[in-house]
């Protein structure tokens, strides 16, 4: 893991290194010079989610781009997948999104996209990181008399919505469907409700009034409990929850039951296979996916490829296997035939297409997968130390793995974007799973917390 880049770009507390204005400016310079290896005057699109620090960081990145001769197109507030798509449609050389995804407002981040709307490889991130830390930009800046310019893109949301309409198909409609949307007070707030209404749905939207500070606060894909209650109250057919930059989706069925990203991937896999569109009969997910996902795919005769954590890793595995569907339990879902990155809004449309095709409610469709009890506990840590080098933690994990045997599994890993250790345990019962996960979490906290 690099000093700057995590599993999904650069992330940290806003106005504090590495998410301060000075570092953002340097990242803008480094990324632009990286692009200059192929193009003389790079054109870079910059969008952001709704958090209050977005304008500060976007302005700093834009200044960095212009200072070394690149041009900038600012989109304002726009979902991450929309920026990826706009990068392609405008023939830009790259895209940048200022967002900390599902984190609360005091965090922010920088996500980088190439001209084809895909995220950077580890090698490419390492090259940019090397420049950020070691390059003297004075020569490049002083030699450029005609600095780059900043333009503003008119109606980027319109272009994005038209793309989604084309991608989902002209015969798609939601007539008679009652849908509740949780926009997480984020980038989906001004787009998703109108789009679903244009498809004919009776839409009730919640958490759609961002104020810069309420993004992801007790709402969205990380906190769908309110959505669940509203779906039952409104007698809706489905509830869809996005995260702050709208690249994740978590769904709620008509009974108010919450579905995970894994369940949505399995439903999507069956839908594609039934329609002859699951190319290479393969689905890719991460090591965090529930054991029930593997079982469901096996029963359907679908190959399952497993990647490291993060949608970039899923994408790499998809490309390697020639798969067109992949995702994470957290709600990143990639339909590669239509899109280049995870898109919560589009994944929601595909889920509704599957419901329309099967003519069954979501509570029935989800029965295709048995979800094994899974508990995830996050522990704040002081330093990321290999857990195998801490005897107490290693012994605790080994003991619990022995107790579980083939009835479950343990996964302990560090967050790629935060100083957090994530402990995940699957087991035969929720009580046993919770007990074992808490034991490991306590051990981690006592030794490195």
- 362 and 394 assigned to the same domain: no
Judge whether 221 counts as a catalytic residue.
no
In a domain, 327, yes or no: yes
d(C-alpha 210, C-alpha 208), whole Å: 6
Catalytic, out of 101, 205, 221, 307: 101
In a domain, 166, yes or no: no
- 37 and 136 assigned to the same domain: yes
In order, the DSSP letters of 356-395 are: HHHTS-HHHHGGGSPPPPEEEEEEE-SS---GGGSHHHHH
In a domain, 169, yes or no: no
Show the tokens assigned to 294.
């593997």
At a CB cut-off of 8 Å and minimum separation 6, what does 64 contact?
24, 25, 26, 27, 28, 29, 30, 31, 32
Per-residue model confidence as pLDDT tens for the chain (449 residues):
458 998 889 999 999 999 999 999 999 999 999 999 999 999 999 999 999 999 999 999 999 999 999 999 999 999 999 999 999 999 999 999 999 999 999 999 999 999 999 999 999 999 999 999 999 999 889 889 899 999 999 999 999 999 999 999 999 999 999 999 999 999 999 999 999 999 999 999 999 999 999 999 999 999 999 999 999 999 999 999 999 999 999 999 999 999 999 999 999 999 999 999 999 999 999 998 998 999 999 999 999 999 998 899 999 999 999 999 999 999 999 999 999 999 999 999 999 999 999 999 999 999 999 998 989 999 999 889 999 999 999 999 999 999 999 888 999 999 876 789 999 999 989 999 999 999 999 999 999 99
- 50 and 102 assigned to the same domain: yes
The residue range of the domain holding 100 is 5-156
- 251 and 265 assigned to the same domain: no
Number of domains in the chain: 4
- 222 and 303 assigned to the same domain: no
- 22 and 81 assigned to the same domain: yes
In a domain, 172, yes or no: no
In a domain, 248, yes or no: yes
- 46 and 64 assigned to the same domain: yes
In a domain, 147, yes or no: yes
**CA nearest neighbour of 183 among 210, 165, 159, 202:** 210
- 209 and 283 assigned to the same domain: no
In a domain, 62, yes or no: yes
- 236 and 273 assigned to the same domain: no
**Which residue, of 349, 368, 387, is where some domain finishes?**
368
- 14 and 142 assigned to the same domain: yes
**Which residue, of 210, 233, 257, is where some domain finishes?**
257
**Which residue, of 239, 257, 275, is where some domain finishes?**
257
- What pLDDT is recorded for position 1? 40
CA 43 to each of CA 95, 139, 160, 384: distance values in angstroms, whole numbers, following the listed order: 9, 21, 19, 37
In a domain, 162, yes or no: no
Whichever domain contains 31, its CATH number is 3.40.120.10
Whichever domain contains 419, its CATH number is 3.30.310.50
- 267 and 347 assigned to the same domain: yes
- What pLDDT is recorded for position 2? 53
- 391 and 326 assigned to the same domain: no
């Amino acid at each position: 893991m690099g000093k700057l880049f995590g599993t999904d770009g650069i992330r940290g507390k806003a106005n504090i290194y590495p998410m301060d204005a000075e570092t953002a400016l340097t990242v803008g310079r480094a990324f632009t010079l990286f692009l200059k290896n192929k193009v003389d005057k790079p054109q870079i699109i910059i969008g952001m989610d709704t958090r209050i620090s977005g304008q500060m960081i976007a302005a700093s990145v834009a200044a960095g781009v212009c200072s070394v001769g690149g041009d900038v197109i600012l989109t304002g507030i726009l979902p991450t997948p929309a920026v990826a798509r706009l990068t392609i449609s405008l023939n830009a050389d790259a895209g940048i999104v200022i967002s900390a995804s599902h984190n609360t407002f005091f965090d922010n981040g920088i996500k980088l996209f190439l001209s084809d709307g895909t995220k950077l490889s580890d090698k490419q991130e390492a090259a940019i990181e090397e420049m950020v830390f070691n390059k003297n930009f004075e020569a490049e800046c002083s030699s450029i008399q005609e600095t780059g310019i900043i333009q503003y893109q008119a109606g980027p949301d319109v272009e994005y919505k038209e793309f989604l309409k084309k991608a989902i198909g002209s015969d798609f409609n939601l007539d008679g469907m009652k849908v509740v949307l949780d926009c997480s007070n984020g980038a989906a707030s001004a787009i998703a409700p109108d789009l679903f209404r244009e498809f004919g749905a009776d839409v009730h939207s919640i958490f759609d009034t961002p104020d810069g500070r309420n993004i992801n606060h007790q709402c969205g894909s990380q906190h769908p409990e309110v959505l669940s209650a509203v779906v039952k109250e409104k007698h809706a057919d489905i509830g869809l929850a996005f995260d702050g930059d709208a690249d994740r989706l978590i769904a709620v069925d008509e009974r108010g039951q919450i579905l995970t990203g894994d369940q949505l991937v399995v439903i999507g896999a069956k839908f594609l296979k039934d329609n002859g569109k699951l190319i290479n009969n393969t689905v890719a997910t991460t090591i965090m996916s529930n054991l029930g996902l593997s079982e469901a795919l096996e029963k359907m005769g679908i190959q399952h490829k497993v990647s490291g954590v993060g949608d970039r890793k899923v994408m790499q595995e998809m490309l390697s296997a020639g798969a067109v569907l992949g995702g994470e339990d957290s709600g990143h879902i990639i339909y590669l035939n239509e899109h280049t990155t995870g898109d919560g809004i589009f994944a929601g449309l595909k889920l509704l297409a599957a419901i329309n095709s099967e003519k069954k409610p979501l509570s029935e469709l989800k029965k295709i997968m048995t979800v094994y009890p899974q508990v995830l506990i996050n522990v704040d840590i002081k330093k990321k130390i290999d857990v195998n080098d801490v005897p107490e933690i290693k012994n605790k994990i080994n003991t619990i793995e022995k107790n579980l045997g083939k009835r479950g599994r343990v996964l302990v890993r560090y967050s790629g974007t935060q100083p957090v250790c994530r402990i995940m345990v699957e087991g035969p019962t929720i009580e046993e799973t919770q007990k074992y996960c808490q034991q490991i979490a306590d051990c981690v906290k006592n030794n490195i917390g």
